[in-house]
Amino acid sequence: MTDSKKAVALKYEAEKDAAPKVVAKGRGFIAQKIIELARQHGVPMKEDEALVEVLSKLDIYEEIPVELYKAVAEILVFVYQVKGRIKG
Distances (CA, A) of 46 to 22, 31, 52, 56: 15, 14, 10, 15
Mean pLDDT by 10 residues, the chain (88 residues): 81 90 96 96 91 96 96 89 72
Burial 44-81 (b: 16+ CB within 10 A, else e): eeeeeeebbeebeebeeeebbeeebeeebeebbeebee
Taking the mean position of all CA atoms in its chain, how far away is CA 87? 21
What pLDDT is recorded for position 8?
Answer: 97
Under DSSP, is residue 26 helix (H, G, I), strand (E, B) or coil? strand
Q: Where are the beta strands (DSSP E) in 4-82?
A: 6-11, 21-27
What pLDDT is recorded for position 1?
Answer: 41
What pLDDT is recorded for position 84?
Answer: 78
Q: Which residues pair with 6 in a beta bridge?
A: 27
All domains of the chain in start order, with CATH: 6-82 (3.40.1690.10)
What pLDDT is recorded for position 22?
Answer: 97
